[in-house]
Structure formats: structure tokens, C-alpha cells
Amino acid sequence: MQTRKGQSIEDESMEIIEREIGPHPYKGHEWKIVRRVIHSTADFDFAGKNGLVFHKDAVLSGLDALRSGKNIIVDVNGIIGLLNKQNLADFKASVICDISNPDVVKEATRLDKTRAQTAMRIRAKEMNGAVVVIGNAPTALLEVIQMVKEGITKPGLIIGVPVGFVCAAESKDDLQKLEVPFITNNGRKGGTPCASAIVNALFKIIRGD
């Protein structure tokens, strides 16, 4: 629950963003999501050349999935720490992260894959209709894309904003070629704060904030 003082700081931050943003292509719910990412990262570039990219059904599909308590499958535990716990409780959302699962570590070693890849692969069934949130590992996003292409899973929404120098931008380019609803961005920027901010923004939209 936000305190009155905390809410006043957040409100002032949003006013500053609105004042300083300048022209941008986003409207409605998409702008609420982009603004939340800027608030979490202090980076206006998420509305610029590395701005968020939305599949035409992304927001509606994401809202439907979260409203109905679908799984939220994340690539790293850091995302869980930044998600609003009241929202998770109220909407009975099950958050799944297998990056530290000992069985995943063993299997990844055996297959010579990353833990992030393997953690996604073992959750194919739970991923159907779910919100998949990737903010750290490009290999996790590439694995999910491959799984969708194989027809073994169909998430309700893929939030793919991994950060980094190796395959981060390329994985986002590949994501934009899928028909499955997605929210991503262009370039190397991204990360856990960006990914969790998108989920929190979707919950805020549901609550009508």
C-alpha cells in the first residue's frame, strides 16, 4: 500500500515526465505503460529511438491474462522483487522463476545451454496463456520464441526487454516477427526495472489508476 507521502512523490515524478517528454507516438494505455517504464528507469529513451514496441493485441491480451490470474513466468528473481505484491495477491497470480532450480542447473549443464534457456523450456505447459516476462537474459527470450515457433506453447503476452550486448537487440527483433502478443523495445537497453514496470503498469490499468 502506497503511503500519502510516497504517492505525492510518484505524482510529482509523473508530472515531471509529462512536462519534459516532448512529442511521442504513444496514446492511451500504451502511454501509461511507457510512462511507468520511464519513471522506473529515468530514461526518456524508452519513448525515443529505443522506445517500446507494442503488438496490436498486446495490452488487451496482457490485461485479460492478469485479470484471470494466469501465470507470470519470469527469467530472474529480481523481477519478482519489483512486482507489486498486493496486485499479485489480489489477482491470485502465480509467479514462476526457475533460474536457481537445481534441476535446471544440471540440465543446462548437460545440454550446454544457459540456465535461462532451460528454465523457459521446462515451463512450456504453464506458459500457455501466461504472461512471460524477460528483462535480463536474451537467451531466455530466444528460447521462448523458438518454443512458439515449434508450436509447443502460446503465451498470452511476451514482455521481452532483455538488456545487454550479446543478442539482446537481435532477440527483440525476432520477437517482433511473431504473431503472439508482445511488448518489447529496440536496441540494447532494457532490464529488470523495465520489465517489472510494464507488469505493474498493466495492473494499474486494471485497477483504473
Q: Where are the alpha helices (DSSP H) in the chain?
A: 4-20, 28-41, 58-67, 77-82, 85-90, 102-111, 115-121, 124-127, 138-150, 168-175, 192-207
Please name the residue that has the C-alpha cell 534457456.
Answer: 117
Measured CA to CA in angstroms, residue 75 lies from 16, 141, 190, 206 at distances of: 32, 9, 13, 24
* Active-site choice (24, 29, 39, 55): 39
Question: How many angstroms separate the CA atoms of 74 and 196, rounded?
Answer: 10
39 is catalytic: yes
Q: Which residues are catalytic?
A: 39
